[in-house]
Amino acid sequence: QVQLVESGGGSVQAGGSLRLSCAVYGYGGSSLSLGWFRQPQGKEREGVASIELNGRTSYADSVKGRFAISKDNAKNILYLQMSSLNPEDTAMYYCAADWHYTVAAPLRHSDYRMWGQGTQVTVSS
């Protein structure tokens, strides 16, 4: 059983930065594909960034050049560094994971079965 716990959300002004963290508990090896997703209020969940077992990263077009996903394998923590934030980035952000061999489309939320509880990011203009 894998448990994901996000932290680091908050309120920030446009142009600011935040770093989200996701602690991954309960697995004994580096066999997971990991991703960050977000869901603005009243809208569908969308993929933001992902990192596969081989280290390959993927980003949504809307965040390329502004967000960076990384992971600390020693600490079992996934990060999302967010810069140049704008009000359109306001959403609940979720960490997701699944076994690498089951994730075919890294930014597709339906490919992931393990989810954190979410952390809110609010960007004001």
pLDDT of residue 102: 86
**pLDDT over 70, % of the chain:** 97
pLDDT tens track for 65-119: 999 999 998 999 999 999 999 999 999 999 999 998 889 899 999 999 999 999 9
Calculate ∠ Cα 72-75-77, nearest 5°: 60
CA distances from 43 to 39, 50, 91, 104 (A): 6, 20, 9, 24
CB 22 within 8 A of CB 4: yes
